Amino acid sequence: MATTDLLTLSRAARLAGVTRGVLQKKVRDGDLRSFEGKVRVADLVEAFPGTAIEDNAELARVSQIKERAFARRVYERALPDKEVLAARVGALGRDLAVANARADRLQSLLSELGQRLEGHSLGAWLRHQLEIGMAASDDEQELLAQEGVMRVMAPHVKVTPGGQEFFVEGADTVLEAALHAGIAMAYGCSGGNCGECKARVVAGTLRQVRHHDYRLTEAERQNGWALMCSHTALTDLVIEAQVARFANEIPEQSITAHVRKMENLSDEVMLLELLTPRSNRLRFLAGQGAQVTLGGASATWPIASCPCEERRLHFHVRRMPGNVISDYVFGRLRIGEAVPVAGPVGDFVLREDSARPLVFIAWGWQGFAPVKSVIEHALAQESAESIDLYWIGAQGSDHYHPRLCRSWAEAIDNFRYTPLIAGAGLHGEVVRAVRSTLGEILPEIETPAERDFYVAGDSAQIDATRAALAEHGVPAERLATWTAD
């Protein structure tokens, strides 16, 4: 089988216009063959007939997400600058010339072999196999052409030993691309000074696009080490790099961020956006929180944004008259003010080793921010087979971000959003309110015991949810929680 006929799952998913999770399900169900994590072009065309040509599913998917959903910034940067584009085309051209020379050599070898086997049954078999092998359908050719364009526009990176995959859009550095894809690659300054983003290139070619002061040793350079914060990918890459997967792998940090934006999401909830310094960002995993100090008071809040938002940290602050920090945010905080931030805290993070469908349950207004961060990370990873979000408020005003949830449901395949009202009991008769709401939800969820649950709320809501899920056969290890009090 020609290696050019094999696509990584990530690239195949993009070409077919589906998530990696959907493709992985097809592989698991036996509807699509995979060869060491790759799929054949012909099999992809058969599994998703017509998608590559008739409606250019990849472009449709990108423009749909761009118009409606959260990832606008990710896709706005899709075009590489002229120099990077020219270098990528040059690298692809060299690959093509080598591949053509090899194909010519192989072709002449095969025809000589055919002549020598003339009259022999093996000769007839060889001719027949060659005819089959060389005949690519129009759909396959179209898909291969698109794949070539994608290799120029967005080279693919595979990380060892963790197995993470992502694409380098535009002229992003490899580090930026990893962070946009929600992959917590190790880094420090992100400005070429500390050397912590050092990784070894096992296959492929880099190009330096940012200045760096940090000096690698000659031996490191010879062995393929390079700084990921100052290089982009010219070709598809395989790199050896450190990636944090668990909360305890991220160091504690103290930084000073600045207020960049304050925006009312509703009458009661404000979006507070902080910008971290370029050379001192906060490393965290989606779903973690941070301690924020404002007006002389400190509070630990969930970070509502995901690490793919780069230097922006979002917090959802509730108006609570009499609460010092809330009064300060709603009454005195100004754009540009310096804000000490320490963290990250918490272990409400996505289980990246799991391919199970995901169910998110956000209780009340305070359950949504951590859930939002993990959902955005899961969407950036494209690995979830399906996502269900239940946002259960005591009253309708608790659903303070309904447009965002609806846009996810509209733009993303296999994403379902269900807002529910549990009534005042959610803060009084908690156990009864939680049990009765889950009594409605759980029968709707097929095979709850085979899903991963992410639940955020106050401690009473979490305890009641844990008990109800256990009664429905959900093992304790399938449940991750964020407790808001």
Site for ligand FES in 224-243 (CB under 6 A): 227, 229
The C-alpha atoms of residue 250 and residue 285 are separated, in whole angstroms, by 8
Closer to ligand FES by Cβ: residue 195 or 457: 195
Number of C-beta neighbours around residue 268 at 10 A:
15
Binding-site member from 117, 144, 194, 409 for ligand FES (CB under 6 A): 194
Interface stretch with ligand FES, choices 78-86, 181-189, 313-321, 459-467 (CB under 6 A): 181-189
Angle at 291 between CA 290 and CA 294, to 5 degrees: 130
Compute φ and ψ for 162, nearest 5 degrees: -70, -25
For ligand FES, which is the closer residue by CB, 146 or 190? 190
Q: Per-residue b/e over 117-131, b at no fewer than 16 CB within 10 Å?
A: eeeeeeeeeeeeeee
Q: Give the residue from 301, 427, 269 showing the smallest Cα distance to 363.
A: 427
- Cβ-based neighbours of 481, under 8 Å, separated by 6 or more: 348, 454, 455, 456, 462, 465, 466
| Interface with ligand FES (CB under 6 A), residue from 162, 195, 302, 367 | 195
Q: For 371, list phi and psi in degrees, rounded to 5.
A: -65, -40
Q: Does the footprint of ligand FES cover residue 307 (CB under 6 A)?
A: no
Sheet containing 452-457, strands listed edge to edge, beginning at the edge strand earlier in sequence:
415-421, 387-393, 358-363, 452-457, 479-483
Residue located via tokens 């807002």 = 419
When binding is defined by CB under 6 A, the residue of 190, 232, 305, 381 that contacts ligand FES is 190
Stretch that binds ligand FES, among 108-116, 189-197, 321-329, 365-373 (CB under 6 A): 189-197
Closer residue to ligand FES, CB minimum distance, 201 or 362: 201
Task: CB nearer to ligand FES: give 20 or 281.
Answer: 281
Options 6-14, 126-134, 187-195, 293-301: segment touching ligand FES (CB under 6 A): 187-195
Cβ contacts of 57 within 8 Å, gap of 6 or more? 15, 16, 17, 18, 48, 51
Q: How far is the CB of 447 from ligand FES (least distance, A)?
A: 43
Name the segment binding ligand FES (CB under 6 A); options: 20-28, 191-199, 286-294, 437-445.
Answer: 191-199
Two structure tokens written together for 215 = 């000096």
DSSP state of 135: -
Q: Is 13 in the site for ligand FES (CB under 6 A)?
A: no
Read off the amino acid at residue 227: L
- Whichever of 158 and 283 has its CB closer to ligand FES, that residue is 283
Q: With binding defined as CB under 6 A, does residue 201 bind ligand FES?
A: no
Q: Would you call 353 exposed, middle or buried from its count of C-beta atoms within 10 A (0-12, 13-18, 19+)?
A: exposed
Instruction: Tell me if 187 contacts ligand FES by CB under 6 A.
Output: yes
Asked whether position 192 contacts ligand FES by CB under 6 A, the answer is yes
Binding status of residue 214 toward ligand FES by CB under 6 A: yes
Q: Tell me the closest approach of the beta carbon of residue 454 to ligand FES, in angstroms.
A: 30
Which residues are 38's β-sheet partners? 8, 35
Provide the CB-side half-sphere exposure for 62 (13 A, CA): 16
Q: Which of 189, 285, 333, 426 binds ligand FES (CB under 6 A)?
A: 189
Does 193 bind ligand FES (CB under 6 A)? Our answer is: yes
Please state the closest distance from residue 252 (CB atom) to ligand FES, in A: 18
Residue 255 touching ligand FES (CB under 6 A): no
Task: Name the 3-class secondary structure at 129.
Answer: helix
Q: Which of 196, 385, 388, 398 binds ligand FES (CB under 6 A)?
A: 196
Name which of 12 and 209 has its Cβ closer to ligand FES: 209
Rounded Cα distance between 216 and 23, Å, is: 40
384 and 19 Cβ atoms separated by less than 8 Å: yes
Q: Is 188 in the site for ligand FES (CB under 6 A)?
A: yes
List 12, 152, 197, 379, residue binding ligand FES (CB under 6 A): 197
Nearer of residues 194 and 247 to ligand FES, judged by Cβ:
194
Closest CB to ligand FES among residues 251, 473: 251
> How far is it, in rounded angstroms, from Cα 67 to Cα 70?
9
Closer to ligand FES by Cβ: residue 174 or 350: 174
Q: How far is the CB of 161 from ligand FES (least distance, A)?
A: 20
**Chain residues in the site for ligand FES (CB under 6 A):** 187-190, 192-197, 214, 227, 229
